[in-house]
Structure formats: structure tokens, C-alpha cells
């Protein structure tokens, strides 16, 4: 029992001695970076993802809802309340509202006083006047009308309208309902009133066409628990929707941001692991002599290993908590610095990201620091007389393998992106293979002195170092390459994401949808927009039809069990015809039909995948009681985030021209030109006009916040990369000091030594830059096509930029790092050897 205490105490004394002598600063700094950066990114990422998830929930009006044609089962509601969820009931139904001699079809909406559970309502005290956020709902006896209803009914604020059997007083113009998303093409003008007035209207009768929505809000764990509980208890008419299912324009942007934050986290952890590995290698190498002395004094291999492992355990234990604290302070500083642009609601920092951040440091230290220490137990006592080293034991490679697997699993757990983790692992393995082949090439072609002498003098030491110490220099080259690659991949993905977001919502994005334009009004409508110089998009015909068969098999029998309740099968789809491929659509398979063609069908790719539809499949539709069948001739991706008309199904004009259709159009209108809407609505009273200004502003705000988050992650990654480069340079400083002292003692000048050392780092920078360019291209291709669903193009500039950047940065870093080599006295250095 006495020996473990003695070993424990000696490990502590070794730690104190090494700290006072400055031997541990590099390892501690690398480990602090690993823990702090991992913790900061984990905390910031989790808080931002939850905040943006809340903003998506605001578009739904809740975190989750159940939609049904009748009130939800009481047992379902009771369980939701038992789980601690807040509830609010909303009822929507079509109806006719009257004012004087005017009547108009409306989409009536009855709400409770706590509506909405997420988000807000915006109203104005006059139609088309500036609006504001409100926290209340219509009182009993009141109605809020959409602005376009005022000219249609000829009413003003304070007038009364009749809904069913009751009169309601108009008190406000409603400009935004937070949950009015989804199917743009079926909206009638909105009238909102209090649920307390529902019974007095007398409208809801058995068989009435109504839509009940039960809104729910609460903690994520409670929502998930209720979702799982209700899975087999909801009847076929009740459909549960999460916030992420409500709007693709918001959902896709949030998903991509989450993926990018995960990528930044992985890159930071990768750099942290490299920094810890290089620092641990230096830590081990500087203890070979002391281990040899201990062996001479009778210490066994196990005692030596236990002492050093104990010291390493002390380092991990003492650094983990300060690292987590620094990480928390870093992310809190970023949050405070960006307080004006980040979401107004940010949840408190969770405990799990801090645990994961601390575990990241410990695992990287154990994985990458243990292998170098295994060599110390095999140090021979003869090392006090000779400078030889035994080769790395086979167990060290086993440790490296287990540590890499542990880091991979940690990345997977931390980000939830197994595909992304695999891609980074594949790219890192490819870089390692390229480095091995490159070193072997140098060995084969520059291995003799004659060929080496043909190189420029300032590159000879670098090439000699690679050839003579290929294992160690390969590790340094791998560290530099992975550092450049991680930063370049994140930078390129950041640029691709920002470009995508900017392209999705450019200036003058259409902010109004005009629907239900009658065929007889198309020419007059187009003339109105042209006369008033309104920026507009193409007019599209809309045909409502239901998919009933796939390859002559009833659709519910043809699809998988999981897709039998797909929303596209439970409603009529909006179909159109077009002779050209619409803007923001891209063909994945097949080709577009020639003008004048009368057969063919283009289907949206995601729907095709869910329903198992392939090229050539025959789809049968029902339109106004008539059936027709077309074969799939192309599959296309649709940019749903563009706020332009998009469709699941597109046909040639000849296939649909004889079917009843209305027309759809989107256009952009400045705020000062909105008075034109009164004239537009008055001239075309049957047209439905949808105002998307508030939704677009919300999306733009989210994208701006996402951009700030991306930039913050990139800055953190750059700092981590600089620390890695410093760790790599510092890990070889002892050897460079000895080489410099020998060269100076043999007559070499400081200038010659400086040129040789800087030339070596410049060579390392060029090689690392070229290898990083290869790894970056491979990684960005896989990430763009397999994860982010973005188009990929070769980034030719990195083939010049990365080698140049590597040469400059490593040359400058090398100059700063080796000043001790040329400034210290050769005699003093050689005395220490």
C-alpha cells in the first residue's frame, strides 16, 4: 500500500518541478486550447441552435402542434398537460363575412387568449399603415381583418361585419400571424376573432369543413417524450407536426447552420488533438534522459511509466476545469459582443457541452499523449552514455488507434453528424497517405548527397530533415497540413453558405404573392403591374389535382408504410405547366421537354425520394373529376427558400391547357408604394393577395445572425490554428538549437543559419499548402455533395493561396520561433547536450 502513495507523491513533485522550469507550458497551453475551444464552440453552438430553433417555432406559433378536422382527443390533451406542455387551441374554417351590401369569402380564425405560444402577432390601427408587435388577441365581440379585406368590404376601423349569426366590431388590421405558413396557394383573406364568440356565430355544425390546431410549447425533452407517447395513440385524422416541419425556407437555413457549426466544432477538435499530440511528443522527448537516469538508479519500467502517467493525469485534472471556465467565458464574451445581432432569446449555457468540452481535452491528452510516453518505459540505462532510442513499441500504435476511434466517437456524439465525421476521417487519412507517398518520393529521388546538392541551399536542410527523420518530420508536416486544411475547408464552406444565403434572399425578393387570378384577368393584371412599374416574376397557371396512382397501383399501396400519411397524399397538389425550367430549379435526372411537347412530367426530388418515384414511373392524377396519366421525364431540385413560386409537379402546356386553372404571380413592392395595393385589390376583387414582408424580414434576420455565428466560429478556428503551428514549431526547437550550435561552431554565420532555417519552414509551408489543397478539395466536395446539399466547383485559388499562405505564415512563424537558435551562444547550448 505504501508504493502507490510514494508514486503518487513523486508524480506531484515531478509536476511542480516541471512547471517551475517551464517544461509544461506548451502542453498546458495546448490542452487548455483543446478544452477551451471545444467547450466554447459546443456551448455557443448549442445555445444558437436552440435559439434559431425557437425562431422556427415562432413561424409555427408553437414548438409542436396537432392538426385535425375535429377537436383532439381529451386523453391526448390530458397527457400533454401532464408532461408540462402549454396548450392553445386554434380553429380555422372558410366562411362568408358581410358588411352592408358587400360579402366576401374569408378564412376565419378563432383563437384563445394565450395565442400564439411562440412568436407574435403584428397589427396596425389602419390598413396598410405601419404595424407593431402586440401581445393580445381580439377581445370578445371584436374582429381583426387583413388589410386587403378593407377595400373588398368597403369598411374602416370601427365598422361592424357579420360572421354567421353575430356582429363583430373591427378594431385592428392584422399584418402578421406568426403561424401563417405552409401552403401559400390556398389562403383567403383572414378574419381573426375570439374563441368565446365561436358558439354565437352558429357556423360550426356537424359536417362543417374546419381545421382544429392544438398548439403546444415546452421543454425539448417534454416535447420529445410526448411525441413518442402519442405516436401510436393519434388517430388517422390527427397529424402531429414539429416546428422543423413547418417551413422549408427557415428549416433548411437552420439545418445548414447546425451542420456548419458541427463542422467548425470538428475542425477545432482536430486542431486541438494535433496541438496536444505535438506538445505530448515534446513532453516525452525531453524526459528520455531523466528516465535513463532513473533506470540507472534502479527504477523499473513500470515505476517510470507510472510516474509519468501520474504527472500527465495531474495535468489533465488541473487543466480541465480552468479550460472549461475559459471556454464558458469565451462563448459568453462572443454572446455579449454580438448581443445586438444574435437572437433576442438565448437559452442559458447547458451542462452537457461543458462536460463534453472537458472530456474532449482529457481524451485527446490520453489518446495522443499516452503513445509517446510508452516509449519512455523502454528507455535503456545506456542512454546516459549513448543517444540511441528504442523504436516505438507496437502497443503505441494500438493506443493511437483506440484514441483516434475515441476522438471520432466524441466528434460524432458532439455534433450528431456521423457522415461529416467520416468525411473528415477519410480526408485526414488521404492526407496522411499523400504525406507518406511524398516522403517516400523524396527518399527515392533525393536520397543521395549528389542529388541533394542540386537543390537551393536554403532548402537543403528541410529536405535533409524530411529524409533523415522521416517519422518525426512527417508528423510535423501532417500537423501543418491538417491545420491549413481545417481552416481552408471551414473558410470555403463559410463562403459557399454565405453566397447561398445571399442568393436565396437578394435585394427586391418578391414580398407579395397574387393568387386566384382568373384567366380573363391575366392580361389586365399584367398591364396594371407594367403601368405602375412593379418588379414582377413569371405568371404561372395553377391546377389543383390529387395524386391517386403510381404505376397503376393505388398511391397508398405503392408508397412505403412510413409515407402513407405523407401530407402530399392527403391533399390536392398545386400543379402548373411551363415550357422552360423555372428559375432556382435544377435538373437532377432526365431532361426538359422541347417546346410544344404534349407529354412528360417533372417532379420535385425530395417528394420523389419519399414516395419512391423514379424516372419513367407513370403517375395518375385526378383533376375536377377527370383522370389523366403522365410518365416522369425529369426529377429536379427546388430552392424552396427563394420566396418565388415553386411546385412539386410541372407539366408541358399541352398536357394541362384544357383543365380549369387560376394564375399565380409574385412581385416586389417598396413600403412607400404599398398604397398601390388598394387599387390592385379594388380592380381585381377575386384575387387573393398574400403579404410576405414580415416573414422575409424574419428570415433575413435569421440569416444575418447565422452569418455572424459563422464568422465567430471561423475566428475561433484561426486562433486554434495559430496555436497548433506554435506547438509544432516549439516541439522541434531543441533539435534546432543543437543543429544551430553545431553550424555556428563550424564557422557558419548567423545570416546563413537564418536563411537555412527560414528556408526550411518555407519549404514546409509550400508542401503543407499543396497537400492541404488536395485534402481541402476532397473534403469540400464530399461535404458539399453529401452533407450541405450545395453545388460544388473546384476552388482553384487555394492551389496558389494555400502554398503561398503556408510559406509566408510558416516562414514568419519560423523566424519568430528560431531567434533563440541564432541568438544563443553555441558554447552554452553544446554544454547542455
> Is it the case that residue 516 has pLDDT exceeding 70?
yes
Grid cell digits, residue 574: 398545386
Residue range 517-551, pLDDT digits in tens: 888 888 899 888 888 888 887 888 989 888 889 99
Helix (H), strand (E) at residue 42: helix 25-60
Residue 3: the pLDDT is 47
CA atoms of 608 and 601, how far apart (whole Å): 12
Across residues 92-115, what is the average pLDDT?
Answer: 88
Residue range 145-165, pLDDT digits in tens: 988 788 888 899 999 999 988
* Range with top average pLDDT, 347-361, 481-495, 812-826: 481-495
Which residue has better confidence, 88 or 178? 88
Helix (H), strand (E) at residue 687: none
- State phi, psi for 160 to the nearest 5 degrees: -115, 150
> Is it the case that residue 184 has pLDDT exceeding 50?
no
Q: What angle do CA 827, 832, 833 make, to 5 degrees?
A: 100
At 339, the pLDDT band (50, 70, 90 cuts) reads low
| 334 in Cβ contact with 44 (< 8 Å) | yes
Share of the chain above pLDDT 70, in %: 69
Residue range 433-466, pLDDT digits in tens: 777 776 666 656 655 555 556 666 656 666 666 6
> Is it the case that residue 56 has pLDDT exceeding 80?
no
At 48, the pLDDT band (50, 70, 90 cuts) reads confident
Q: At a CB cut-off of 8 Å and minimum separation 6, what does 710 contact?
A: 257, 260, 494, 497, 498
Which residue has better confidence, 202 or 33? 202
CA atoms of 607 and 619, how far apart (whole Å): 13
Q: At a CB cut-off of 8 Å and minimum separation 6, what does 592 contact?
A: 580, 581, 602, 634
At 186, the pLDDT band (50, 70, 90 cuts) reads very low
Q: At a CB cut-off of 8 Å and minimum separation 6, what does 340 contact?
A: none
CA atoms of 463 and 245, how far apart (whole Å): 57
Residue 584: the pLDDT is 77
Grid cell digits, residue 369: 499523449
Report CA-CA distances (Å) from 160 to 93, 97, 121, 172, 763.
20, 10, 22, 12, 82
Q: Measured over all CA atoms, what is the biggest interatomic distance in the chain, rounded to whole angstroms? A: 111
* Bridge partners, 605 (sequence order): none
CA atoms of 635 and 601, how far apart (whole Å): 9
| 350 in Cβ contact with 50 (< 8 Å) | no
Going by C-alpha positions, the residue among 483, 544, 504, 515 that lies closest to residue 718 is 483
At 135, the pLDDT band (50, 70, 90 cuts) reads confident
Residue 183: the pLDDT is 44
Q: What angle do CA 670, 189, 157 make, to 5 degrees?
A: 80
CA atoms of 574 and 643, how far apart (whole Å): 16
Helix (H), strand (E) at residue 211: strand 211-217
Report CA-CA distances (Å) from 70 to 106, 124, 205, 226, 569.
20, 32, 11, 20, 20
Residue 185: the pLDDT is 40
Grid cell digits, residue 109: 380564425
CA atoms of 102 and 66, how far apart (whole Å): 35
Average pLDDT, the chain: 77
DSSP 139: P
Query: For the chain, which residues make up each domain, given as ranges?
Result: 2-54+251-503+700-832, 61-250, 512-691
Residue 649: the pLDDT is 92
Q: Which of 248-252, 383-387, 559-563, 659-663 has the lowest mean pLDDT?
A: 383-387
DSSP 650: E
At 167, the pLDDT band (50, 70, 90 cuts) reads very high
Helix ranges (H only) for 83-175 are 149-153
Which residue has better confidence, 337 or 199? 199
> Is it the case that residue 138 has pLDDT exceeding 90?
yes
Give pTM, 2 decimals: 0.62
| 696 in Cβ contact with 509 (< 8 Å) | yes
At 820, the pLDDT band (50, 70, 90 cuts) reads low
> Is it the case that residue 308 has pLDDT exceeding 70?
yes
> Is it the case that residue 678 has pLDDT exceeding 70?
yes
Cβ neighbours around 389 below 10 Å, total:
13
Which residue has better confidence, 473 or 299? 299
At 621, the pLDDT band (50, 70, 90 cuts) reads very high
**Omega within 30 of 0 (cis) for the link into 116:** yes
> Is it the case that residue 797 has pLDDT exceeding 90?
no
CA quadruple 309, 310, 311, 314: dihedral sign: positive
Residue 1: the pLDDT is 41
Residue 180: the pLDDT is 63
At 598, the pLDDT band (50, 70, 90 cuts) reads confident
Q: What share of the chain is helix, strand, coil (3-state, %, to 5)?
A: 55, 15, 25
Going by C-alpha positions, the residue among 220, 772, 757 that lies closest to residue 486 is 772
* Bridge partners, 145 (sequence order): 173, 191
Grid cell digits, residue 77: 390533451
Q: At a CB cut-off of 8 Å and minimum separation 6, what does 455 contact?
A: 446, 463
> Is it the case that residue 394 has pLDDT exceeding 60?
no
| 190 in Cβ contact with 150 (< 8 Å) | no
Strands 102-111 and 86-99: antiparallel
Residue range 753-781, pLDDT digits in tens: 777 777 777 878 888 888 888 888 888 88
Residue range 711-761, pLDDT digits in tens: 666 676 666 666 666 766 666 666 666 766 666 666 666 676 777 777 777
Phi-psi region of 124 (alpha: psi -120 to 50; beta: other; left: phi over 0): beta
| 824 in Cβ contact with 521 (< 8 Å) | no
Amino acid at each position: 500500500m505504501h508504493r502507490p502513495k510514494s508514486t503518487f507523491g513523486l508524480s506531484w513533485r515531478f509536476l511542480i518541478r516541471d512547471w517551475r522550469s517551464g517544461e509544461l507550458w506548451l502542453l498546458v497551453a495546448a490542452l487548455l486550447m483543446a478544452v477551451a475551444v471545444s467547450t466554447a464552440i459546443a456551448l455557443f453552438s448549442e445555445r444558437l441552435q436552440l435559439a434559431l430553433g425557437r425562431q422556427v417555432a415562432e413561424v409555427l406559433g408553437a414548438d409542436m402542434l396537432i392538426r385535425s378536422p375535429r377537436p383532439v382527443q381529451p386523453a391526448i390533451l390530458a397527457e400533454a398537460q401532464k408532461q408540462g406542455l402549454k396548450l392553445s387551441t386554434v380553429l380555422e374554417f372558410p366562411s362568408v363575412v358581410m358588411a352592408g351590401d358587400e360579402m366576401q369569402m374569408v378564412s376565419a380564425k378563432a383563437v384563445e387568449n394565450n395565442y400564439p405560444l411562440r412568436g407574435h402577432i403584428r397589427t396596425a390601427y389602419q390598413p396598410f399603415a405601419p404595424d407593431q408587435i402586440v401581445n393580445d388577441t381580439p377581445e370578445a365581440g371584436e374582429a381583426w381583418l387583413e388589410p386587403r379585406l378593407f377595400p373588398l368590404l368597403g369598411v374602416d376601423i370601427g365598422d361592424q361585419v357579420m360572421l354567421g349569426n353575430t356582429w363583430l366590431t373591427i378594431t385592428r388590421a392584422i399584418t402578421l400571424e406568426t403561424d401563417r405558413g405552409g401552403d401559400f396557394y390556398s389562403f383567403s383573406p383572414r378574419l381573426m376573432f375570439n374563441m368565446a364568440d365561436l358558439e354565437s356565430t352558429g357556423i360550426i355544425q356537424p359536417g362543417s369543413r374546419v381545421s382544429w390546431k392544438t398548439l403546444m410549447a415546452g421543454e425539448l425533452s417534454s416535447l420529445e417524450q410526448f411525441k413518442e407517447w402519442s405516436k401510436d395513440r393519434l388517430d388517422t385524422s390527427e397529424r402531429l407536426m414539429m416546428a422543423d416541419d413547418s417551413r422549408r425556407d427557415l428549416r433548411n437555413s437552420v439545418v445548414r447552420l447546425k451542420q456548419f457549426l458541427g463542422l467548425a466544432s470538428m475542425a477545432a477538435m482536430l486542431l486541438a488533438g494535433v496541438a496536444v499530440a505535438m506538445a505530448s511528443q515534446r513532453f516525452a522527448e525531453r524526459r528520455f534522459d531523466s528516465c535513463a537516469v532513473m533506470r540507472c538508479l534502479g527504477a523499473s519500467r513500470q515505476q517510470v511509466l507510472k510516474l509519468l502517467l501520474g504527472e500527465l493525469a495531474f495535468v489533465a485534472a488541473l487543466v480541465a476545469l480552468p479550460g472549461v471556465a475559459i471556454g464558458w467565458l469565451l462563448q459568453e464574451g462572443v454572446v455579449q459582443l454580438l448581443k445586438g445581432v444574435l437572437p433576442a432569446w438565448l437559452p442559458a449555457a447547458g451542462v452537457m457541452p461543458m462536460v463534453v468540452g472537458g472530456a474532449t481535452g482529457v481524451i485527446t491528452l490520453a489518446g495522443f499523449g499516452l503513445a509517446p510516453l510508452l516509449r519512455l518505459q523502454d528507455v535503456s540505462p545506456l542512454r546516459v552514455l549513448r543517444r540511441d532510442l528504442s523504436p516505438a513499441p507496437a502497443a503505441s500504435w494500438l493506443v493511437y488507434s483506440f484514441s483516434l476511434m475515441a476522438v471520432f466517437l466524441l466528434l460524432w456524439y458532439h455534433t450528431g453528424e456521423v457522415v461529416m465525421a467520416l468525411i473528415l476521417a477519410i480526408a485526414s487519412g488521404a492526407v496522411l497517405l499523400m504525406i507518406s507517398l511524398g516522403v517516400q518520393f523524396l527518399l527515392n529521388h533525393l536520397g543521395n548527397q549528389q542529388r541533394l546538392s542540386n537543390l537551393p541551399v536554403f532548402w537543403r536542410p528541410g529536405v535533409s530533415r524530411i529524409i533523415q527523420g522521416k517519422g518525426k518530420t512527417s508528423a510535423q508536416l501532417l500537423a501543418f497540413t491538417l491545420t491549413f486544411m481545417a481552416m481552408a475547408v471551414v473558410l470555403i464552406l463559410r463562403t459557399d453558405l454565405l453566397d447561398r444565403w445571399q442568393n436565396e434572399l437578394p435585394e427586391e425578393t418578391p414580398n407579395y404573392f397574387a393568387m386566384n387570378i382568373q384567366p380573363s384577368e391575366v392580361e389586365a393584371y399584367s398591364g396594371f403591374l407594367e403601368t405602375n412599374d412593379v418588379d414582377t416574376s413569371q405568371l404561372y397557371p395553377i391546377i389543383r389535382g390529387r395524386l391517386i396512382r403510381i404505376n397503376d397501383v393505388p398511391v397508398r399501396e405503392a408508397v412505403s408504410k412510413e409515407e402513407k400519411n405523407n401530407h402530399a397524399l392527403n391533399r390536392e397538389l398545386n400543379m402548373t405547366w411551363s415550357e422552360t425550367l423555372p428559375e432556382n430549379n435544377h435538373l437532377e435526372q432526365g431532361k426538359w421537354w422541347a417546346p410544344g411537347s404534349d407529354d412528360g412530367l417533372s417532379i420535385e426530388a425530395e417528394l420523389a425520394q419519399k414516395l419512391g418515384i423514379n424516372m419513367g414511373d407513370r403517375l395518375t392524377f385526378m383533376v375536377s373529376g377527370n383522370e389523366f396519366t403522365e410518365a416522369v421525364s425529369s426529377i429536379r431540385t427546388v430552392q424552396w427558400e427563394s420566396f418565388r413560386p415553386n411546385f412539386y409537379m410541372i407539366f408541358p402546356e399541352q398536357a394541362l391547357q384544357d383543365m380549369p386553372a387560376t394564375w399565380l404571380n409574385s412581385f416586389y413592392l417598396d413600403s412607400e408604394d404599398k398604397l398601390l395595393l388598394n387599387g390592385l385589390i379594388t380592380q381585381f376583387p377575386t384575387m387573393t393577395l398574400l403579404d410576405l414582408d414580415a416573414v422575409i424580414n424574419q428570415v433575413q434576420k435569421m440569416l444575418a445572425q447565422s452569418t455572424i455565428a459563422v464568422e465567430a466560429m471561423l475566428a475561433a478556428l484561426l486562433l486554434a490554428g495559430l496555436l497548433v503551428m506554435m506547438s509544432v514549431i516549439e516541439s522541434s526547437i531543441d533539435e534546432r538549437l543543437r543543429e544551430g550550435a553545431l553550424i555556428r561552431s563550424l564557422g557558419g554565420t548567423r545570416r546563413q543559419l537564418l536563411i537555412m532555417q527560414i528556408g526550411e519552414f518555407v519549404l514546409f509551408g509550400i508542401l503543407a499548402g499543396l497537400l492541404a489543397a488536395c485534402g481541402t478539395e476532397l473534403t469540400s466536395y464530399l461535404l458539399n455533395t453529401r452533407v450541405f446539399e450545395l453545388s460544388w466547383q473546384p476552388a482553384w485559388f487555394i492551389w496558389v493561396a494555400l502554398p503561398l499562405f503556408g510559406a509566408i505564415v510558416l516562414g514568419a512563424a519560423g523566424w519568430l520561433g528560431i531567434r533563440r537558435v541564432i541568438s544563443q551562444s553555441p558554447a552554452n547550448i553544446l554544454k547542455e547536450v
